[in-house]
Amino acid sequence: MSVSLRNTLMRCSKCGNIEDKVVDSRAAKDGSSIRRRRECLACAHRFTTYEVIERIDFQVVKDNGARETFDREKLMRGMIKACEKRPVSVETLEKAAEEVAVELQNQNLREIPAKLIGPLVMRKLEKIDRIAYVRYASVYRNFHDVGEFIDEINSLEKRPTTDNHQQKLF
């Protein structure tokens, strides 16, 4: 019995062609997605795609009352920005973003206050990379001066580290 792994068209990240073949397919590390290695039939470029379970959309309620659909990619962009030039893999961030999305989904609410998302992300980043955590916290908490950075770093230094490989901030 032959089962086709190809149920949607994927655009090549190098040339934009929509014709490719799946050369490898396996469960991702988190177990809730499938990692597929694809090869473009036009230029032979190989690229990776992830297939995840479609979730019921929920709304994020901003502080000003505005609502927008939860966007996991927006969450990832913020985490990637915080980890820029840090030794953190995209796979680690994908897993953390998925964990945040699952935690939010498990609340079984159609509307989630935005103020609940930032602390979840900060807890994940604190475990992954403390410098990325401070970067994210500075944007999330809207730091206005160096003193706020110093206060946050001092607070962070007092908490036990969960990663023995993480360097001291100061």
The per-residue pLDDT for range 3-35, each reduced to its tens digit, is: 344 445 678 889 989 999 999 999 876 677 888
Residue ranges covered by each domain of the chain: 20-52, 59-158
- Whole-Å CA distances, 106 to 17, 58, 71: 38, 11, 16
Half-sphere exposure at residue 118, Cβ-oriented, CA atoms within 13 angstroms: 15
The per-residue pLDDT for 145 is 76
What's the helix, strand, coil split of the chain in %, to 5?
40, 20, 40
Sign of CA dihedral 32, 93, 71, 23: negative
**Is residue 41 over pLDDT 70?**
yes
CA distance 47 to 27: 16
The per-residue pLDDT for range 66-116, each reduced to its tens digit, is: 999 999 899 999 999 999 999 999 999 999 998 999 899 888 888 999 889
Tell if the pTM clears 0.85, that is, is over it: no
**Is residue 167 over pLDDT 80?**
no
Average pLDDT value for residue range 123-135: 90
The per-residue pLDDT for 54 is 66
CA distance 141 to 45: 42
